[in-house]
Amino acid sequence: MVVKNNNPLDLFHLLPEQRILVCRSCKAGVAPRHLVTHIRAHHRGLYFEFKTKQSAVEWVQNRLLPSLPCALLDPVVESIPVPPADAKAFPFLKVHVRYGCTHCPAVSKREDEIRKHYNACHALVRRGRGGAVANSRGMMRKRLDREHYGDQPPYLPAFYQRFFTAGVKGIICF
């Protein structure tokens, strides 16, 4: 069943401090230049206004954008304001569970990526008996890391959010 959409903000939620639109059903931010593409790809069958590309363009330009109290942030031109690490989660953004570095705010969705980050940014550089610590393997490496960092593991499962999931170079996680 196709519905005539009366309120543009039934589909999106505006984060006013960040000036970012978040799709309510996808729980992801949508960059201004991707609004029509997002609507056509994910919500075409839902609303009457999205049946053709031209009608979706008109809806965005004539209904959605004028209904907003501020101009939207363009992540290609402007830097994205990242909230502090201790800030509360945004209720309209999806929360991801992946891996976080225990020595800095870096997060990653893949364990091998956070391991590479740890080795590149936080690995030991001092030399041990018999060669460089960087070349140490297995139990020797773990023992040397424990001596240097204590019992704190290099990374742990972490919760994070991100404003954009696609279409933005250098997606920022927080």
3-state secondary structure of 152: coil
C-alpha span between 15 and 136 (Å, rounded): 48
What is the 8-class DSSP label of residue 84?
P
Q: Which tokens hold the place of 137?
A: 């393997």
Extents of the domains making up the chain: 8-67, 96-160
pLDDT value of residue 103: 79
For the chain, 174 residues long, the average pLDDT of each consecutive 10-residue run is 57 89 89 88 75 85 88 84 80 86 80 82 58 56 62 77 74 70
Contact 107, 98 (CB under 8 A): yes
pLDDT value of residue 81: 80
C-alpha span between 18 and 59 (Å, rounded): 23
Q: Which tokens hold the place of 13?
A: 């939620």
pLDDT value of residue 140: 64
89: Cβ–Cβ under 8 A, 6 or more apart, which residues? Answer: 95, 159, 161
3-state secondary structure of 9: helix
Q: What is the pTM of this model?
A: 0.68
